[in-house]
Every structure is written in structure tokens, then in C-alpha cells.
Structure 1
């Protein structure tokens, strides 16, 4: 009998809320495994609190929403309550230990006692009351609690009514702000594209007009060739003079200048994908020197003596210590100290579109900066970029997105696009690569440095190399 009572007491503890000390009502279980009444937990977790902690073990929960009611635990609680009730009602009028009638109620332990139980040491200093009096007092307490609960309910209804009247429509306001942002960006995009189209139109018109002048003059010369000798010779001075003028106006192939069109908000968006990467010192060649913290690399003197031309195929690289197989990554590289460099990614295996059996091959996708005399040039490999830039770019941002296969380079200072590879058929982990380039003659080798995650770009970074 005592063993059964002990088991039921343990069972009773398992289905009792540690907040209200009563059986579970609409029980919920949180991440740490502890369970509570839904109402008790909602009162314990303040609305708007930054973190939620367990009222029992104080473990902080990562969930910011109230858990749903556990139907299984609710059913188990009902079944256990019936079992406990049946056990205690079978001998509810008699003490199971002493087999005497319950006559007293211990107000400290909230339990029924017989006369002999009152004399035991564990109840020695406790307060007792007759069963009838204790039950009467309990009913009065229940009435008092109900009165307070009704008042709390009325106050909650009033607060809810005020909340509904004064509620701010955050959904509408935030949606409108994003719509405004989209509209502003579309307006900027339209202006930028119109400017590019206008410049292209003017350039094409200039070439077309030059071609028309040449074609018209060719027709004039053909007509003059069929004239009589005297008539031809009378115009020869004028025709030859005009020929000189037309021939001097040659259209030269001009290397286009890289556009620096700022894209509003682009850097703030990219910084959401910043990753902290390091260089793999074991992957470098004798011509490169990697720093002890593996955050920078520079060209050694041997490379300057060996290489006359800075070519992608003959360049020496250092690999990143990290490789990426999915998701989005963004990193920035400080190239302020070096006039020539290469940045990009190495893909050990790629789909070969020309091969039916889908053979794979290694590939690099890089952006190269060259310096010739006083000019700087950007070239992409592979790709069609071959543009002159106004001056050195102090910091370059690299954005990688595995799906759908995108690699983009940014001028961080100008917040503008440099070049975009898309789409690239990635099939294996992608590794960032770095090459500081051979130092220019009579110039000390500088370092190419990975920028820390919290490293801001100052105006001084725009100083010329």
C-alpha cells in the first residue's frame, strides 16, 4: 500500500505545474523539456521580452513564440488524475498509514491527517484545523480568488479594447516603405540605363556619320574617275585636299572606361553575407609570402626578377583556407598597396558543356588589374571585360552565390559594379584565390590583405598608388 502511494505521489509530481502547483491545464512543453500550464507560462513570459527563459531551470529558449498545447500530455494528465482520485477515494476517510479517520488538515503541507499523524515529528510545528473548518476556509479562498480573477479579466478586456483602438498598422507602413525603396531603386535604375543608352547612341551615331562621309566621298571619287581629263584635272586639287581631310579623321578603337555607377544600398545588403576567410599558407609558391596570421600576401623579389609580363596563366596564386559548396558568401580585399593583382575563385571540377559524357575540368574565374604607364585596366578571365579605370581601386568586394552560379566584383569605395560572371556551372567546392602580382620596377612590394568583418572603409583609402 505504501509503495503504491509513493508511486502515485511521484506520478502526481510529474503532472503538476511548478508555477501554480496544480495539475496541468492545457500543458505546453518548451525546448529544455519542462512543462507548464499554457496560462502560467504566458504570464511568466512577458510580452515583448527580448529572450524567453524557462521558469524552472532558467535556460534561455531560442523560440520567441508560445508553444502549442501538448494533446498527449493533456490526455496523460487526465488519466493520471482519475487514477490518483480513485486510489485516494477508496480510503479517503481513513489514514493509509495508521488506518484512522481523517479529522485534521495540515495548513503547512496542505494534507489530511489523522490524530496520530499530528503527533509525528514531521508535523510537530505545523498548524492544524478541523476538516470542516479547513474545507470552509478553502471555499472562501476560492471565492476570493475568483473575484480577483474576474477583475483581472475585466482589466485585460479594457486593455485589449484600448490596444485595438490605438494599434499602429506596422504591416502597412513597412510594406509601404519597401515599396518606396523599390520605386526609388527603379527610378535610379532607369536613369542609369538611360544615361548608358544615350552614351552608346551618341558613340554609334558618331561612327555611323564617319562611315557615311567615307561612303559619300568614295562615290564622289568614283564619279570623278569617269570624267574627262580636263574636267578631272580642274578638280584634282580640291579632291586631293578633301581626301587628306577625310583620311586624317580615322576612327580609332578606344578602350572603354569602366563605369562607376553607385548602386544605393548594395554594400549594406552584401554585408549580410560577409564571411571571415584566411589564406592557406601551404598552398603558396616560393614567389609569394603569406603573413603569420594568414590574412595578407605579397610578392617576393624572385617573382619580380623572373616575370616580365603579368599574365593569368603564369601568375602565382595563394588559395583561401576555406572552400564553399552552397549558399552566399561575400568578402573584401584591400589592394591599396599593390598596383597589379588578381582576385577570383578556383573550381576544381566543372561541367564541360561541349562534352556529351559530361567530363569535368578545372577552371578559374578571375578579375585582373594591370598598370601600364599611368593607366589602370581591368580584365576578366574568361570574359570580355577590358576597360580602363580612372585610378586605382583601394578595396574590392567579391560576392559568390553557388546557385545559380554567380561571381560578382565590386568597387567598395564607389559602391559600384566592376564585373559579373553568370551563370557558372559549379559542381564542387569553390575556393577563393589571390595573387598580389609582381612588383613594378623600382617599387617596393606591397601586400594584398583580407579585410576584417568589422573593418570600415575610410576616405583615405582612395589615395593614389
Structure 2
């Protein structure tokens, strides 16, 4: 940094980590400023929570915005330095002794006005050197931000499956146990069909396990590749303007090409299989449910809670979908305290939906449905996450790895054993079965649907 700009002023525009001019400057709560890339890398490598690299004060906000005042001041200082560099005697055009104020995009070279009009260069695209340099610094900052976001996206996706295939296999074996109990309840004499059903689930799950491991390897490899590129771009941020103009183009192409094909996390899902005699058996307990106490709202906390749910021990994160829906919720006109009941609910065409039962206490207080201490609702919940649907259950909140039903969902309540099952009516298959001993107090049917 050599120019007529006072050294003290230039110091204020210097990153306290890399000691170069601030690139895409951000300012922490304590008032210290850094290059966005320097601060991101520092926070990623630090063992402690996000804190200032200088004073170590904890940062309450990690998604910092660009400090445009500093950015503009850095731009002024860069232009002054570049102007001084170009006007120096040793960097003038050797042939015409004029200042090289023209940048040739084709040859990535600095030219004086006379050279730019020569036969060699006249057909090329020319710009002022200062203008080109500022645009290249902006391109570099934008590319680094884009690249970092992709790296963090891969990191989040890897954390979703942080324990590899363990959560998937745990679900498969648990689902197999539900199938076994359902067969014993509905068709106890079809042992051969039951064994075939369970065997096919195991084979399918093992195939998916291999796919999960392969996808994780792909994402880890891509993350490593992107980090290599990111560090190369950081090196470019230390270059003087002229070298940046000459070398950045190839680095940007490298980075953009690497971001074209991003591996996505595999969302494992079991295919629903019919259970012989299931619907005939369930219809023996069919009841007509009249829903009342309707509630209509633009916001229903249940679905936002599911979409933003985080299991810290599983490192599971679900992104919010920004779409606005209108929700309709209703409770059954009567509750149940004994016996077996089966009813069906049409959820076809719903954006989000939830069906099941809840305790009377929750009908008066629609709050805290997903709190760990809450035991007032027993629901099958479907939410749209990004471009796919995901099923969950409440009490406890559990993600289900099975395809979303279309049309009608059946609810079978066995109050005597304290259990409840959800079925895909169209495919005559089991979606989920709550364990025995679940209910000890009266419950009533519940439904909520959302439409955009």
C-alpha cells in the first residue's frame, strides 16, 4: 500500500487478519472489521463459538452484512494506489511513454491509448484500467461468497446424515417391528407373506445404505475440492491490481465450473407395500367422525416447528420454505375413552397436513406442540421441505423414511391397548404405529390442512 493516502487512513481500511485491504468488509458487534472470507475461515477453524479474532468478544450475530461505507472507502484507496502505480515512470508504455490507462480484455494486458488503437488491439474490448480493476475485485468478492455458501451447504447436508446410515437402519428395524405386530394383529396366519415383506424391506434398506455412503463420499470430495479453490481465490485477494486483472479470469472459470454439479444429500425412503387383509380388518371398526371447532389461520405453528426442527445429537437441520399457506384445523365433535375406532381423512392436494388425535387440553391451548415436555398430541405430520415432502410423527417428534401417501390417510385408534396406527389407504400399507400404552386419558380426532 503505497500512495499519497495517509498511512493511518490506510490502516483503518486494512483487515486485521490478512493485513491487506478489506475485501467485502464486515464489522462485528465489538466494532472490529475484517474481510468476510477471513472472518468465515477464522470462525470455522476456531474451537470456541464465534468471536472477534482481535478482542475475542463473542459475536451474537454470525450472518453479517457488508459494511458499504468501508467498501467504498477501500475502493477510493485502491484507485489512488493504482493511479500512482500507473503514473510512475517505470510503468509507462516503453514505446510511446504514455500512461497505461487502458485494459485489453482479450490479452489481459495494460495499454496506453496509442497501443489500444494499433492493428493488434483495435478489435478487442477495452476499458479503463481503474474501472476494470474495481469490477474484478467485485467479481472476486461475489465468487468467494458464492463458493463459501456452497461449502456451507455441503457441510449442512453432511450434518443431516451425521451418523451415516445409523438413523436409517434404526428406522428400518423399527418399521419392521411395526409390520410384524400389524401382521400378527390383522393376518396372524400369513407367516410366509410376513417373512417375505420383512425380507424385502431389509434388501431395499441395504441397497439404500450403499447409496447413502456413496453420496456422502461424493459430498465430502466436493467439499474438499471447493475449499482448495476457495483458498486459491483468497490468495488472489492479496494480489496487486495488475496481477488480479491478468490472472483472475481463469480462477473464476475454475470456481464456476466446480459449482455447476453439486451433489445433493440422498433422502432415503421405503416404498409402501400392501398388507393382505389390512383394509378389510380396519373397516370392521370404522366410525364416522364429525369435525367442528374449526380454526382458520394464515399461520399455524405446528408446521413451522417441524420445518425448523433440529435434533442437536443427530445434527439434523431442516430448511424453512418461504411460501405462505392458509391453514384449516378442526377437532372431532366427540372424544374416545375406550374401544377400537378407525376413520379416514382426505389430504390429497394439501400443502401441509396433520392427522391423528390430541388430548382435550390441547384443543383449548394450541401451543408448544413440539416441546419435549408436551404429550398432548399424537399426529402424523406432512410438511413440504424445499422441493420434497417429509412425514413426521409427534410425541416424540420423529422423521419417517417412507413415501408420502396420496389421497386418504387412515387412523386406527386402539384405546384399550393404548396404541394408534396410520395407514396409506390407496396402497393398503402401514405408515406408522405408535407403541402400546400410549393413552391414559380421553382423546379426540384432529385434522389440520394447509393450502397455498
The question of a shared fold, defined as TM-score above 0.5 by the shorter chain, is answered with no
TM-score (norm 2): 0.38
Query: Which is greater in Rg?
Result: 1
TM-score (structure 1 length as normaliser): 0.37
